[in-house]
Amino acid sequence: MIDQAIYKIGFAAGLAAFTATLSYVVAQILQLAGVLRFPLDEILIYGTSLCIVIPFVLEMLALHYITPDEKKFWSHAAVIFSVVYAVFVTANYVVQLATVIPMKLKGELEEFTVLEQTPHSMFWNYDAIGYIFMGLAMLIALPAFEKHGFQRWVRISFLANAIMTPFISIVYFYPTFSETLLFLGFPWGVTAPLAMLMLALMLRKEKQRRIRSKIITTLSESMAEKL
């Protein structure tokens, strides 16, 4: 029997990941629109992005624990890819928030320019690797889902986000970066939070289904004893 806490933690983590991702998207849009300026724009963008990491990994871990044994290879691979995402983006966002932004505010960034996330810089590539592996995590998780019922819709949302991975790669690695290029990856702002939300809802539905099944089994056993 799967511990009910796994469903609760997975659902809560999924909602947190969805909220953080949506918050990042809003902050990014406000920055592009010129509403947010330095340092608030970078603090919100990197801060909300950092808040995605742990909830997303926990949500994917919950998926692995509720996946049937015959499909656990796929969910396990998805967890591994999620950890790769987590390592690279965490390294990036912590450096930007704890080192780069404070040095910018002090006017002392010259000594730390190698740490700044600018197009095609080291930490830009860290960010790229992270989100590519997030997409790969969702792609390789597809066989873990059923092709019917609510899981079918979760599968579709994961596939939609995985399809965005090549476009995200173009945004990061195209030789000449421009803000216009960002719009190529804009659908990710819909597919990523949607996939996280759909998985969270699936975890809640699975918990409710198992509770109902347990109640029915208990009642059946009780009636059988009486007969």
At what angle are helices 149-163 and 165-173 packed, to 10 degrees?
20
pLDDT for 214 equals 65
Distances (CA, A) of 165 to 53, 89, 110, 135: 17, 16, 33, 6
Kindly list the domain boundaries of the chain, sorted by start residue.
4-226
pLDDT for 111 equals 80
pLDDT (tens digit, 9 = 90+) per residue, 70-85? Answer: 999 999 999 999 999 9
pLDDT for 182 equals 85
pLDDT for 112 equals 81
- Please spell the DSSP secondary structure of 70-117, one letter per residue: GGHHHHHHHHHHHHHHHHHHHHHHHHIIIIIHHHHHHT-GGGGGGGS-
Q: Which segments in the chain show pLDDT lower than 50?
A: none
pLDDT for 222 equals 61
